[in-house]
Structure 1
Amino acid sequence: MLDTLADRLVAPGYSKWGYRLRRRSWPADDPKPGALRAGLAVVTGAGTGIGKATALGLARLGSAVVLVVRDQAKGAAARDEIVAAVPDAVVQVRLCDLSGPESVRRFAGEMVAEFDRLDVLVHNAGVLPQKRTETPEGHELTLATHVLGPLLLTDLLRPLLAASPDARVVFVSSGGMYTQRLHADDPEYREGEYRGATAYARTKRMQVALAPLMAARYASDGIAVHAMHPGWADTPGVAGSLPGFHRLTKAFLRTSEEGADTVVWLAATSPAPRSGQFWHDRRERPAHVLPSTRENPGDVTKFWTRAKSAAGLPD
């Protein structure tokens, strides 16, 4: 009851205090040491923040990790930090811009050519533009980065994921998605005044709406799909994109490692969590808390069809 109350009140549940209170009951629930030994994980947006913390957590559990970044220098620095903390870690850095389908296809082709299987795929890469920006393909940037790119990458890596005995895909969403409904008729945010934070929250809502559909799409291959939100974490992305929020809440923000905890848990805990659900602090959470954000099945189907087409996925 206290957990649910803290979650609904937002600030107590999303802050470092919510994490640290819940953490007291978790020791027996922690992934076993070496849970991912001999495995392979891909983490997008792994140069800083929650992505880097996730990669470190997976490496500590024995997984080889591919850091997917847009900035080679940040990726190399993150790799050095992870290897310094886990000296026997196997860590690679690969360049890929999730907003560009050619970049996604190139990266996925490299992975398929080099590896026989993939156990964990974490979609963490994110952007928060201050003004509406389109990719060369004509898609709004947050949609391309948070939705279309991950959809395409997951589908292209499907053969590798299917080769794993327990493949898991994790979307790092945001608690901000609770403020937004699914805009099935305007996924590109062409209508109304554009706000970067709103675009971010809208596409994070889309990720949560897609998780059950992707879980069903890949169930026959034994691939689980999860969505989660990390609470409020003190990351370079938050500080740079939301300076006012960061300034007001800095004393209450989680560390990147605390924000990444549920991602690592979803990737490594046993038995495997239920596929297609939405998680925060190792517990299933409702996808909606406001009646105004609830979508009908027709909207979800419409959005799924549009998203697959825009991402270039086969039916």
Structure 2
Amino acid sequence: MQLPRLVDAAFDRLVVPGYSRLGYAARRAGWQALRPGSLEGRTVLVTGASGGLGAATARGLAALGARVELVVRDRGRGDQAADALRAEHPGAAVGVAVCDVSSLADVRRYAAEVRDREAAVHGLVHNAGVMPPERTETAEGHELALATHVLGPFLLTRELRPVLRAGASPTSPSRVVFVSSGGMYTASLPTDDPEFRAGTYSGGAAYARTKRMQVVLAELLADDLASDGIVVHSMHPGWADTPGVASSMPAFRRVTGPLLRTDEQGADTAVWLQAAAEAGHSTGVFWHDRAPRPTHYLPRGAETPQARAALWTLCVDATGETA
């Protein structure tokens, strides 16, 4: 039975029941199972897929018949993840590609490689994530969380536009999904200092800021790519017991451990957004547990048109893409 809408919204606002495995269990009871083979014939690229949510997303996509490419920084870890996926799903079509999403040069190289070898790509999941313990810049001079969560995904999406367009049809759009975080609710869109040069740097704050930027960027890209038959969504996985949480937030994990979701539970909505018909009928929506969620809890928190334009300009200028 589907969770009543008011109860579902209360779970969401109260955070603990909605983000934990309790909320997942309560909501899942009302879901329809995805059709087996619903992603057959579709190619989906997943960044940060060597472990955690990325690997779980890849497993979920492969289980539905997708041809999946694990986009990773470390070839060895990527091969291990691919071997584990094939063991779980014998016969699955799985490839591994190396790309450091925080490096704009590497993103361009990888995107050119994909365009050369793939006639069409049907899905892209931006899952790669970092929570730096101290402020770090990439070789190109960008703060690491910003480069990984915002600039690299923006560039990769724009550079893959031709093959994503080729993968779209009138009845089945190509789909781009940003894996954001519920932590973005704690941050506003940074416009004055997006590179986090001023003040005391915090990895948690940098993470939340750039996850907020991802949600807004998904909305902007949704408008930018709509004419090509490409839909763009963002989602958050709730509280999942991932390697990233264990290494970056050990105190949080100790307190919430029994309530944390599995990787598969956290990845469920990202998989669903690639496969479900409902997600193909809309674009620019923020999701959690297969339902649209507000991007702000208070109306006064909404970004101004000027702030949204500033984010787009930042991405265009930093990556050298055309507006």
On whether the aligned pair clears a TM of 0.5, the verdict is yes
Matched, 1:251 2:258: yes
Structure 1: gaps (5+ residues): none
Q: Which moved more, 1:34-43 or 1:290-299?
A: 290-299
C-alpha deviation, 1:211, in angstroms: 1.2
- TM-score (structure 1 length as normaliser): 0.97
Determine the structure 2 residue equivalent to 1:137.
Answer: 140
Determine the structure 2 residue equivalent to 1:146.
Answer: 149
Following TM superposition, the consecutive aligned residue runs of length 4 or more in structure 1 with deviations greater than 4 angstroms are: none
C-alpha deviation, 1:273, in angstroms: 4.3
Query: Where in structure 2 are the equivalents of 1:91-170 lying within 5 Å?
Result: 91-164=94-167, 165=169, 166-170=173-177
Alpha-carbon distance in structure 1 between the residues aligned to 2:130 and 2:104: 16
The Cα offsets for residues 246-284 of structure 1, whole Å up to 9 and x where unpaired, read as 111111000000000000000000142410010000000
Alpha-carbon distance in structure 1 between the residues aligned to 2:252 and 2:319: 32
RMSD between aligned alpha carbons? 1.0
Alpha-carbon distance in structure 1 between the residues aligned to 2:319 and 2:239: 30
Determine the structure 2 residue equivalent to 1:230.
Answer: 237
Determine the structure 1 residue equivalent to 2:23.
Answer: 18
Matched, 1:241 2:244: no
One-letter amino acid of the structure 1 residue matched with residue 49 of structure 2: A
Matched, 1:216 2:219: no
Alpha-carbon distance in structure 1 between the residues aligned to 2:14 and 2:62: 34
Q: Report how many aligned residue pairs link the two structures.
A: 313
Alpha-carbon distance in structure 2 between the residues aligned to 1:191 and 1:292: 25
One-letter amino acid of the structure 1 residue matched with residue 164 of structure 2: L
Secondary structure of the 1:66 match is strand
Alpha-carbon distance in structure 2 between the residues aligned to 1:240 and 1:278: 27
- TM-score (structure 2 length as normaliser): 0.95
Between the aligned residues of both structures, percent identity stands at: 56
By relative contact order (CA 8 Å, sep 6+), the higher-ranking structure is 1
Q: Contact conserved, 1:31 with 1:265, CA < 8 A, in 2?
A: yes
Alpha-carbon distance in structure 1 between the residues aligned to 2:101 and 2:49: 12
Determine the structure 2 residue equivalent to 1:269.
Answer: 276
Q: 1:279 pairs with 282, 287, 291, which one? A: 287
Secondary structure of the 1:163 match is helix
Q: Contact conserved, 1:40 with 1:119, CA < 8 A, in 2?
A: yes
Q: 2:195 pairs with 181, 188, 194, which one? A: 188
C-alpha deviation, 1:108, in angstroms: 0.8
Structure 2: gaps (5+ residues): 1-5
Distance 1:292 1:189, change over 3 A: farther
Q: 1:171 pairs with 155, 168, 178, which one? A: 178
C-alpha deviation, 1:102, in angstroms: 1.2
